[in-house]
Amino acid sequence: MAKRILVVEDNDLNRKLFCDLLRSQGFAVEPVADGNEAIERTRGFVPNLVIMDIQLNNISGLDLIETMKADRELRLIPVLAVTAYAGKGDEERIKEAGAEGYLAKPVSIGPFLAAVNRLI
């Protein structure tokens, strides 16, 4: 059975790119454009990995990660955080929120797939 990945990304192009790339590698992928739906979709889809954009339109990806990690049912699901605004201290803040992995955008295919495979 294919490993399941939830992709939380509000940018249409990035979401499509991540999903297409992951599907080409044999993963079952569920895209989520609205961060407000991320927790509910995580419960329904039960992914093996969540790829989480940090800069979402209506909610912080950091807040979503913290919510997941505080939830008994969701806390063991690894999170790979991706962000376009990688500043000093961002990686530490993201990992303190509970993310097991971190990548700065633009994301290269090799490091992206390596991070996914390491976490899944």
Q: How high is the pLDDT of residue 86?
A: 67
User: Which pLDDT belongs to residue 116?
Assistant: 98
Taking all residues of the chain, what is their mean pLDDT, rounded to a whole number?
Answer: 94
Per residue in 13-22, pLDDT tens? 999 999 999 9
The structural domains of the chain, ordered by start, are 4-119 (3.40.50.2300)
Residue 85 in this model has a pLDDT that exceeds 90:
no
pLDDT (average), residues 25-35: 97
CA-nearest of 97, 6, 16, 15 to 46 is 6
* Residues in Cβ contact with 33 at an 8 Å cutoff, skipping those fewer than 6 apart: 9, 10, 12, 15
